[in-house]
Structure 1
């Protein structure tokens, strides 16, 4: 089945079938508009060919540039950075801090200091962290609102691109229809103007128009296909935006409150754990103290009993003292005896030396010498 347009170059009737219309995204209802657009192309005026469909192409290019701006827009990166900041703040919360106050309890005081949870400081840190998270969540909400607004703009863009796709199809169909008319006119001119110089010039001019028109039709077909490609791109960006907006909603409504609840549960569980650890430590310390005191009592009692039953002076001490005393007396007597014997021996030796000296000095001297006694 074919749909025809009442435009006749000479006696020929140019028609477009419905299959070709569907390829261009058109229907039979668009035939009247196609006919009107086709009438803008005047074969005798080459300027109408070069400008054919240019306004629609420029409009489509602007949509494409806007779409690329949406793809390159950094708001999504900023939103991701804010979401990462929320996670970083949550991870930074310190649940293991201890009390700055020192316990004055003896023995177990240092244990209490090491185990006690700094509840006041943790609550303060939690409040500060909660404020940071709330502030970041508010920024995420603003980004979320911006994403939703952008999706609404993308929806308008989608409608506009679809219309541009249709208009480009109408121009392509009109151009093809007009091109067919020009080619039919060329056939008539060639058949009826053989040998006519004027007819030859008309054929050459009309061939140039046909070539340029075919090139323009091809350009418009490329633009139409580009517009067709933009439609799924817009839907994909909208889908990504919607998923990101839903993710931010989940973070704000579910994740952050869950963090806060789990933090409070963690605080309570830490307090319970530390209380149990402190109780066990105290019990262990008590048992250890009892055992050490019992051992000390036994040792002191035994040593006290032994000290109480002991003589003022041990017999062994008296025996040792007496032995030493007797030995001292004996040694003194022995030394005296040895001294007397030594004196007697010395006296005898001195007497012998004296006699010997006397004898030597009293010997008869030689002639001319004087004895020691005479000299004396």
Structure 2
């Protein structure tokens, strides 16, 4: 009795007072109400398992991730091959990607609405399971009180009633004492069996508590994952598409600038050569003297400088693009690492004992 909390002592005393070894009915009824909660708890667990949104929510979440992976926007940022440049009209690839995106976006939005509904139902299940946990915990304490009350009566019977009846059974003036001793021992054994049954039922209640918590934690984890996908994955996917389109347009603009620069250099060379040829022929016919090569050398030096500047600028631009790609990959890795660390913290917190 010293191990029982003082706040429950009064309830245990009341339950013990309700047991009478002279009334078999009190023994049969003892703890019946507490044991009946086992059926109610089992029904609640079964109903929760049958009506659970976890399976369907998981399938819906997988459908969204499949749709997102199936629409790979990273290929748009890759440099097109020679045949792609020859057989694809300018802007046609971007138009096709945009049209495909519009179709996939409709699917994503529909799946997102469905996932949000699942998340709401999962959170409702979490609250319902919390109430079930509290009720099961009360049931566990009620069984513990009955067991303590039964042990109290058994102790009093073994230490007081049985020794007294044994002494009376040896008294020849009390011929009914032996029968009373036998009845008391039979009632005592029946009460011990009832207490044992209550212990088994309490074990069932104890096993139900972690089961409820496990289902509840799974629901919370899935609801959190759905929230993360809706709040992070989908917006990042759209952002990646926007970046890929922007990079594709920048590459097209760079190609146009390069073409114009190449044409300018070609014209400059052609003009210089034409000037040189015409000047030579004119000087030959008019003066039949030496050629003025200084102008040709200056034009050639300017041409070479122009070509070298163009190549240097092109190389710098390529290096800048490679640096930008590396920085983007690094940023994406940092985001993934942060998300992975947050998931690990949530699992560690969930794994802590209650």
Equivalent of residue 256 in structure 1, options 230, 234, 256: 234
Q: CA deviation at 1:197?
A: 4.9
Equivalenced residues, count = 256
**Contact 1:63–1:161 under 8 Å retained in 2:** yes
Within-5 A mapping of 1:280-299:
none
The equivalent of 2:312 in structure 1 is: none
| 1:58 partnered with 2:33 | no
CA shift in 2, pair 1:131/1:139, >3 Å:
same
Which of residues 137, 147, 150 in structure 2 aligns to 1:175?
A: 150
Query: Equivalent of 1:111, from 86, 105, 114?
Result: 86
How big is the shift at 1:64?
A: 3.8
More off after superposition, 71-80 vs 42-51 = 71-80
Structure 2: tracts of 5 or more residues without a match: 77-82, 266-354
Given the superposition, is the C-alpha separation of residues 255 and 179 from structure 1 closer, same or farther in structure 2, using an over 3 Å criterion?
Answer: same
Tell me the CA shift for residue 65 of structure 1.
Answer: 4.0
One of 93, 96, 107 as aligned partner of 1:132: 107
Asked if 1 retains the 8 angstrom alpha-carbon contact of 2:169 and 2:181, the reply is: no
Counterpart for residue 226 of structure 1: 204
Q: Deviations over 1:148-199 (max 9, x none)?
A: 1111111111221121111111111111111223333122111111265522
The one of the two structures with greater contact order (alpha-carbon pairs below 8 A, sep at least 6) is: 2
Contact 1:94 1:122 in 2 (8 A): no
1:4-56 deviation digits (Å, cap 9, x = unpaired): xxxxxxxxxxxx3x12x2xxxxx122222112111222212223212211111
- Looking at structure 2, the residues matched to 268 and 245 of structure 1 have their Cα atoms a distance apart, in angstroms, of 34
**8 Å contact kept, 2:119–2:226:** yes
Decide which structure has the larger Cα Rg and report it.
1
Match of 1:37 in 2: 15
Correspondence for 1:89 among 67, 82, 90? 67
1:201 is the counterpart of 2:179 = yes
* Whole-angstrom distance in 1 between the partners of 2:205 and 2:156: 28
Alpha-carbon distance, 1:213 to partner? 0.8
Q: Which residue of 2 aligns with 1:166?
A: 141
RMSD over aligned Cα atoms: 3.2
> Do residues 146 (structure 1) and 121 (structure 2) align?
yes
Question: Structure 1 runs of 4+ off > 6 angstroms?
Answer: 277-285
Describe the SS at the equivalent of 2:22. Answer: coil
Matches within 5 A, 1:276-355: none
Deviation of 1:135 (Å): 0.9
Supply the distance in 2 between the matched residues of 1:207 and 1:67 (Cα, whole angstroms). 40
C-alpha displacement of 1:282: 10
Secondary structure of 2:195's match? helix
2:164 maps to what in 1?
A: 188
TM-score after normalising by structure 1: 0.60
Q: Give, in angstroms, the shift of residue 143 of structure 1.
A: 0.7
Q: Which residue of 1 aligns with 2:58?
A: 80
Partner Cα distance (1:263, 1:236) in 2: 39
Contact 2:12 2:146 in 1 (8 A): yes
Q: What SS does the corresponding residue of 1:118 show, helix, strand or coil?
A: helix
